[in-house]
A and B are shown apart, each in its own frame.
Chain A
Amino acid sequence: MEFKTSQYILISDPLSGQADDLTSKRMIFSTRKGMGVTVSNYLLQLLESRQFELIPDAMFNILLFHEIIIAADEDELTEIVMGKRMIVKSDEITVGVGFREKSFSEKLDKATSLFDKMRSDLKLIKLEVNVESFLQINPIVNALNEAAGSNIAANVEIQASVICLFSADIYDSDLKTGRIKLTEFHLLVTDLQRSQAVCEWASAFVARPENSGVKLHIDIIFKGNDIADHHAHLLMINALQGIEVKFCYAGNDEGLNASDEKNILRSLSSIALPYDLIPPVSRTFYSPIPASKFVGDDYQMDKTMASINMVGDEKGYFMKRYYDDEIVSELLRRDTACSNCVYMPLCGGRLNKSQEHALDCPGFISNFIEKARLKYKIPLEIS
């Protein structure tokens, strides 16, 4: 049996000790699995010199599991692309509808009529309310109630998931949503000054019996180096029972300032917050499509789309797409920078990049090794 080392790995600096010491540890991160493993320099040498027969059974299994050791005859890119293609084909289709308060009904109509045409494939419509300005919760709830009227086919199951920026209105709003079953409530906290209020509101929310079937998610977005000032309340929010709390950096898909983020990572290394560093291995990639495609009613959904995020403004639209023939052949011909990028299995790839390739890449790729260190509780800076 012939083996080789995967090309989709990242190797860290030594995590302790001298760089050339054979017992010093490094982390090998597999982007195929989205997981890392720490190994000694000695073991790394064995991998690099392909002396797989000297690797003990237990470690060999771990490296196989991480897909760091693979068959010598495997064409990795083809395997990954074809694998993703097969997987997303059988995944449920979700559509996320982002909207501004006023255009909500219109957008939802459009989304449901699009999905009506392919009803058999539709399992779940997930509504995401994601606005840039502070938003009142009650209009959303009313709109959801209206939307539950006759214009939605009876066999389409709708589970609403509301994302809302934190505002004072939330305190006394009633989340009854009529025929739409509200299953998830996402709260996006972008202003850390409000941490204490969020904490109080969330405790009250989960205590209400009528909210017992609603899963509350709180996403706390760091914009800058303001974590330390509010960390006491952040820790309290994190400790709340029955709530899923996620901490993330504001610079997400849109490109980001890598050095600002590094500062945040430094603050986080001294505060025990479960910062969301490494995303799960992606099954889809994003592809921007022109806004004009959505104008009028003639736009045809096809099965190559997994999800459309209809945030309708000048920025245009982007959508997740299945690995269709066009994308697959582009990747396999190595016509795109993604074909040779070690992050591809993790990020899913994003074709149609600009010349400034890195700017179009998902945010998590920046400072990746630092994030991996933070995740595995390895000291952030090694001199």
Chain B
Amino acid sequence: MTHAIQQKKIKWSSTQLTESNDYVRVFIKAISEYLTLPERQEIYFISKFFVDATVEIKRGHFEYAQHLFQRGEKYMEKVDVASLSGKLLRNVYTRSKSLYYYRSDQYQKAISLVDEALTINIDLEKSGLRFLIFDRFSQLHNLSRIYFSLHQTDKGVDVINSIATTLMTGQSSEYMTDVEGFLDNLNVDGKTMRSSFLCLIITETLNNLFKLSVDETSDGAALFTSTFYAQLTDAVKGFHVLTDIDRQLQEWLQIIELYHRREFDLFQEKSIAYLTSGRAFYGKQPNSIMAGYLMKLTGPLTV
């Protein structure tokens, strides 16, 4: 169960066609209503170059990735930019290419491509492909990583808070506008994607912030953790629990919140009870984060 959830989590430039079965199914179904089969096959074919390129970037094969981009770009040139096909391709392209720029330390180029991708996303969502809102979450998640890399931690935290707020409450937030009906329109696949995406961004961000506070032992880093959590607390209050994972996440967040409210006695009691109960979700990452909090307070937990 846990394993399946982990596999489903959306990664950078989620490979539209191969990485997540849920996503592929939803994607194919949605575009089938709008595009002819030759148009769809063309999209699948051209997208593959960009999807493959992201894989090669992650392996450090930049030259080959560049080659794959060039091949894909050549085929993409023949597709009308203003057509639905053109926009969908541009959507895949911008996210893959922004990763390329991000990994080759060209952060400004990466940011401007993320911006472009967000605009295309909103446009596509309005023309009926509502599930692409998940691409938007994913793009913003990438944007936050860029900010973290640029040591603009406050901005990174803002972006994450914005995504988390919209995901939890369904309400628009600083970076997530045009989200009307987001929660109402979620099907089973969408609910699952929402849960695992929430787990991903919350655990990843807390882990990052933890690392900051360990490396620099600065009050600044600790402050960010508190700021992140303070903003998250509001979102937790309006959290629409739709799946079992959501329920577990909510329960976990409520315990972590005690720490940030400085109710240390209660936090210690509840977190020890939680950690020794054998409960776990989303791998064991939330557990190790909770143990990390406890460590800050009392030193290592011996069970």
- Using a CB–CB distance below 8 Å, which chain A residues touch chain B? 1, 3, 52-53, 57-58, 60-61, 64-65, 71, 82-83, 86-87, 89-91
Contact = CB atoms under 8 A, between A and B. Distances in A.
Contacts of B24: 58, 61
Contacts of B60: 90
Contact of B48 (A53, A64, A86, A89): A64
B42 interface: yes
B38 interface: yes
A57 B42 contact: no
B217 interface: no
A64 B42 CA distance: 11
B61 A57 contact: no
A86 B17 contact: no
Interface stretch (B62-70, B94-102, B109-117): B62-70
Interface string B16-34: 0110000011001000100
Given A53-B38, A58-B28, A3 B45 contact: yes
Given A1-B75, A61-B28, A90-B63, 10 more contacts: A1-B42, A3-B41, A57-B40, A58-B25, A58-B28, A61-B24, A71-B45, A87-B64, A89-B63, A90-B60
Nearest to A54: B37
B63 A60 contact: no
Q: Give the 8 A-B residue pairs with the shortest CB-CB distance, closest first.
A: A86-B64, A1-B42, A86-B63, A57-B28, A87-B61, A87-B64, A90-B61, A61-B17
A64 B40 contact: no
B56 to A, nearest CB: 7
20 contacts: A3-B41, A52-B41, A53-B41, A57-B32, A57-B40, A57-B44, A58-B24, A58-B28, A61-B24, A61-B28, A61-B44, A65-B18, A65-B48, A83-B64, A86-B61, A86-B63, A86-B64, A86-B67, A90-B60, A90-B61
A83 B67 contact: yes
A53 B38 CA distance: 7
A65 B17 contact: yes
B54 to A, nearest CB: 14
B56 A87 contact: yes
Chain B at the A interface: SS class: helix
Contacts of A60: 41, 44
A71 B75 CA distance: 10
A1 B38 contact: yes
A60 B17 CA distance: 11
A294 B64 CA distance: 33
A61 B18 contact: yes
Contacts of B41: 1, 3, 52-53, 57, 60
B67 to A, nearest CB: 6
A90 B44 CA distance: 28
A372 B213 CA distance: 50
Contacts of B28: 57-58, 61
Contacts of A83: 64, 67
Nearest to B32: A57
A1 B48 CA distance: 14
Contacts of A90: 60-64
B286 to A, nearest CB: 24
B96 to A, nearest CB: 16
Contacts of A91: 61
B78 to A, nearest CB: 9
Contacts of B40: 57
A58 B41 CA distance: 10
Nearest to B66: A86
A87 B67 CA distance: 11
B32, B60, B61 pick with most chain A CB within 10 angstroms: B61
B97 to A, nearest CB: 18
Nearest to B43: A1
A61 B40 CA distance: 10
Contacts of A52: 41
A1, A65, A89 pick with most chain B CB within 10 angstroms: A1
A45 to B, nearest CB: 18
A90 B61 CA distance: 6
Contacts of B32: 57
A40 B18 CA distance: 21
A29 B97 CA distance: 31
A53, A58, A64 pick with most chain B CB within 10 angstroms: A64
A64 B61 contact: no
B37 to A, nearest CB: 6
Given A61-B18, A86-B61, A1 B37 contact: no
B50 to A, nearest CB: 13
Nearest to A89: B63
B71 to A, nearest CB: 9
Contacts of A65: 17-18, 48
A109 B38 CA distance: 61
A58 B56 CA distance: 24
A64 B63 contact: no
Contacts of B38: 1, 53
Nearest to B49: A71
A65 B24 CA distance: 13
